Amino acid sequence: MKYCEAKQGRIFVLRLEDGEVVHETIEKFARDHHIRAASLIVLGGADSGSVLVTGPDQGRQFPISPKIRELDDVHEVTGTGTLFPDETGSPVLHMHMACGRGDTTITGCIRKGVKVWQVMEVTIHELAGAVGVRKKDDATGFAMLVP
């Protein structure tokens, strides 16, 4: 385990609007408001055509090939994530959402593009003093958090 200590900084409440791409909108907000690190929670609606990474296609085999699922209709969502800069200082959101419709739920990473359906509420808790950075891990290809 690796870790760093942080203190609670500012808290922001956002309302994302119809058609916005969640990770793009949040990363832009972080740049504009000089948020280096944060934890986030979201709830609202995801539109059809949104794409989730639902795990590796072949379990623990390398190279890792992501399993992709596209939402075929509007879904209710709840999610949680973290935001830390990459090696160039750009904010990168890592968020997973559970997207439900009727009696079916799909859970996955939103990095490939989740679009807001009507409204999505986001609470951003800034992590003041956190020194973590997302660095590319050559073995997995992931942008790993290095606290």
pLDDT for the residue 123: 98
* Distance separating alpha carbons of residues 54 and 67, to the nearest angstrom: 5
Q: Which domains, ranges and CATH numbers included, belong to the chain?
A: 16-127 (3.30.1330.80)
Inter-CA distances, 25 with 3, 20, 30, 104, Å: 28, 7, 9, 27
pLDDT band at 62 (very low <50, low <70, confident <90, very high): confident
* Distance separating alpha carbons of residues 39 and 124, to the nearest angstrom: 6
Say what the pTM is: 0.96
Q: Kindly report, residue by residue over 83-94, the tens digit of the pLDDT.
A: 999 999 999 999
* Average of per-residue pLDDT across 60-75: 94
* Average of per-residue pLDDT across 47-75: 94
Share of the chain above pLDDT 90, in %: 92
* Average of per-residue pLDDT across 42-64: 94
Answer yes or no: are the C-beta atoms of 19 and 34 closer than 8 Å.
no
Handedness of CA 105, 109, 113, 114 (dihedral sign): positive
